[in-house]
Structure 1
Amino acid sequence: MLLRKLLVLNLALAGVMTLDVQADELDTFQFRAGQTWQYDSNVFRLSDAVIAPPSDHFGVTTIGAKIDKSYGLQRFEFDINANRYNYKNFSALDFTAVNYAAAWRWSFTPALYGNLTTDRQEYTDNTANFQNPGQLNRRTDRLTLLDAEYAIDGPWRVLGGVFERSSSNSQALTFEGDSKVRGIEAGVKYVFASDSSFAYRLKQGRGEYPNRVLSSTFASDFKDREHEFKLVWPITGKTTIQSRLSYFDRAHDGLAARDFSGFVGQLEATWLATGKTTVNGGVVRELGDYQTNNISYYQGNRFFIAPTWKPTEKTALKFRYDHGVRNYKGPLTGFVATNRRDTTDLAVLGFEWEVIRAVKVTTSVFTDRRKSNEFAADYKSHGANISVLASF
């Protein structure tokens, strides 16, 4: 799937280390407010081969609310927050992002149930490639999904659904452009007595690239097809594996040179090492749209590890390291392949302290680096932030 759902990672780089204060199950309504202050040594992710990268300090003010309520077999959830970004030196970058997630966890009978969900996430995508260096791109992802699951006999389930997803950019000339896809999905699922499950889904979608200037080298419409396999396997009471493997194919109308296909997926494991230590890690295979005259798509591999140590009930020390490699492919006829290859490294070390039940303080430091064999596509940055979040 072309779902760019490293959102927490992107928010961390932008200075909004998501502070998820867990409410009790009985809490129906929750209000929250917070403030983040961050320093970033290379706010535009520029290469020092071209210019001395500018740094900046900025703050993010957050207000939000959450509703979670059950009525019989039905459950309703709504979460909304507004984030106001204010930069000290580059005030032209100031903006307000309003994000939300809503869900109806419906059930007509104990055997027939599903979800109707919709969400919107706007964030600063400061590692994006576009044709106006020295600016920031704000990316907005939306997803609406109606799915259903029916238990037909013992462990077997029938799956179905319809969806619409879109991505848009504040910068007009991005190489990973705006897109919108509508589609359907159908499949089967087997649930084991051990609570393990294995599922297959066929997803088919029809999409377009909105706001694109059409030419002989850029198509406006495309078709997606994906064969997806998912496995959830709690190996022991302390170790769980979740995996997804898909074969994805995108075909562009009237411009086969832009087509691409291949395997995508993720293998992730969570290990409760001790009563105070949890280790999460995995590997990811990526495939994405990226269009210039010399490139049509990219293939990538990443691995990550994220241990958490809780010395007390109210404190936690967290670390995350991501390493990835991207290769860019698919030149148009008559253009020479760039053979571009990027290597990325991101490390974040954070500390959380629940001062009282309603107040949490988080601080972190990070380093972010990309090396590339393409001139001026490399960058390096480091920074630190501190956040305070109150919820009640």
Structure 2
Amino acid sequence: MNKRRDVSGYGDYVLVSALAFVGVMTCLPALAIEGDTFTPYASYGIYYDANLLRQSDAVRQSGAQLSDRWTRAGVGIRMDKEISRQKLTADASVYRADYDHFNQYSNTGKDAVANWKWALGNQFTGNVGVNYAQALTPFEDYRSLERSMQTQTKTYVDGSWRFHPSWQLNTAYSHYDLGYDLASQKPSERTLDITDVGVDYLARSGNKVGVVLRHIEGDYQYADINSYSQNEVKAKVDWQITGKTLIQFLGGYAKREYAVNPQRDSGVPSARLTAYWKATNKTAISLGAWRELGATDNLAANYARNQGVSLASTWDATSRISVDGLVMTEKRSYNGVSVIAGLDPLNRSDDYRNALLGVTYKPTSHWRIRAAVFRTTLDSNIPSASYSTDGAHISTRYEF
């Protein structure tokens, strides 16, 4: 089993590096170019959730305190700089969240992203970057009165070589690291190393079709029984049907293999189709449908097959007010395979639904106010896993 380093210090290093990157670039007047943007900002929000702990209806009916209100205040800085054909972007922020009732969940979170979009001549382009986030573990993943903080770090590099006017070779590599501060969450920690190789045909119309080969190495340091290798072959299509309609498709076959327990091996078709429609100059609609191999840390299941559809829309009511909405439903079917002696297979099936409606108001070009309401339900054949909740928030952000 591969030994993995402690990620907590590495995450802080990534955040400090991203902040330093923004700071150094800000302080280089010799490189300053007209149009550069270095923008500090501040944000504040008030949030409410009727079932914060994602407990079943039976628990809710018992009269137990499950709702809560919290505030979140943050500061950050973003950068957008172009140097010749190179483009550098970054955004780093820190925030404080304080809960009224479940004050043990109060926490300080951090976010940082940085990307270098590079170009070499007319044939070579790509990206190098890092994403980092330290935040409270979602209650959907960890229902406990004990606070759990998770740290996610993704580093990536990709490149494309247009070796012919109609053909392009693509390659990419990314490393994903998920860590937790609680010992009880250590079995869910993982690293993913993802390698892609593919080729695209570029039509004169601007449309694109291609093939992608992907290899994933998933390593669970504290639960090697979940470590796996996965190979995928998929076709992809980006097709502009009309000036207002775009369709994107990525689909094929995925095969997952477990070194410790081969009986958990699985192979399933997977695909995702997304359609974008600019209905009017002020209205846009997107429709998504998917059938994919989902992740699961459950030792009584070797995978979750997720099938779902979503519909999202935005409407620019005025030059200062926009309205957005989302409805989504997904069925999650867990393939039951017992991997521990004495543990019965778990053929779990969940129906997840989510709906959101939001309004954004921009009093000025620097100031944004947003309000939103949501409704979320999970119906499972495991009664204790089912829950329903609704909530709302109002937040504001000012860019200096």
- Structure 2-normalised TM-score? 0.84
Residue 301 and residue 176 in structure 1: after superposition, are their counterparts in 2 closer, same or farther (change >3 A)?
Answer: farther
One-letter amino acid of the counterpart of residue 176, structure 2:
R
Q: Does 1:167 align with 2:175?
A: no
Q: How many residues align?
A: 362
1:289 to 290, 295, 298: 295
Q: Residue 364 of structure 2 corresponds to which residue in structure 1? A: 356
Any gaps of 5 or more consecutive residues in structure 2? Answer: 1-33
1:196 to 207, 221, 239: 207
Shift of 1:127: 4.6
1:95 to 107, 115, 122: 107
Residue 135 and residue 178 in structure 1: after superposition, are their counterparts in 2 closer, same or farther (change >3 A)?
Answer: same
In the TM superposition, what whole-angstrom CA distance separates every residue of 1:252-309 from its partner, at most 9, and x where no partner exists?
A: 2131123233233321111111121111121122322324343222111121111111
For residues 228-377 of structure 1, what are the structure 2 equivalents within 5 Å? 228-332=234-338, 335-377=343-385
Q: Is the 8 A contact 2:91 2:112 kept in 1?
A: yes
Provide the aligned C-alpha RMSD in A. 2.2
How much identity, in percent, do the aligned residues show?
Answer: 26
Q: Does 1:85 align with 2:85?
A: no
2:86 to 49, 67, 74: 74
Q: Residue 142 of structure 1 corresponds to which residue in structure 2? A: 153
Residue 196 and residue 135 in structure 1: after superposition, are their counterparts in 2 closer, same or farther (change >3 A)?
Answer: farther
Q: Is the 8 A contact 2:210 2:235 kept in 1?
A: yes
Shift of 1:185: 2.1
One-letter amino acid of the counterpart of residue 26, structure 1:
G
Q: Is the 8 A contact 1:129 1:175 kept in 2?
A: no
- Quick check: which one's helix share is greater? 2
Q: Residue 46 of structure 2 corresponds to which residue in structure 1? A: 37
Q: Does 1:115 align with 2:127?
A: yes
Shift of 1:172: 4.6
In the TM superposition, what whole-angstrom CA distance separates every residue of 1:190-209 from its partner, at most 9, and x where no partner exists?
A: 11112111122212233310
Q: Residue 19 of structure 1 corresponds to which residue in structure 2? A: none
Measured in 2, the distance between the counterparts of 1:166 and 1:233 equals 33
Shift of 1:174: 5.4
Q: Residue 9 of structure 2 corresponds to which residue in structure 1? A: none
Q: Residue 206 of structure 1 corresponds to which residue in structure 2? A: 217
Q: Residue 379 of structure 1 corresponds to which residue in structure 2? A: 387
Q: Is the 8 A contact 2:350 2:378 kept in 1?
A: yes
Residue 177 and residue 286 in structure 1: after superposition, are their counterparts in 2 closer, same or farther (change >3 A)?
Answer: farther
Measured in 2, the distance between the counterparts of 1:140 and 1:248 equals 27
One-letter amino acid of the counterpart of residue 398, structure 2:
A
Measured in 2, the distance between the counterparts of 1:270 and 1:185 equals 26
Q: Is the 8 A contact 1:126 1:136 kept in 2?
A: no
In the TM superposition, what whole-angstrom CA distance separates every residue of 1:203-250 from its partner, at most 9, and x where no partner exists?
A: 2233310333x5xxx25x422212132211111111111221142222
Measured in 1, the distance between the counterparts of 2:394 and 2:141 equals 28
- Structure 1-normalised TM-score? 0.86
Q: Is the 8 A contact 2:179 2:186 kept in 1?
A: no
Measured in 2, the distance between the counterparts of 1:138 and 1:222 equals 25
Q: Residue 154 of structure 1 corresponds to which residue in structure 2? A: 165
Any gaps of 5 or more consecutive residues in structure 1? Answer: 1-24
- More off after superposition, 152-161 vs 282-291: 282-291
- Secondary structure, aligned partner of 1:77: strand
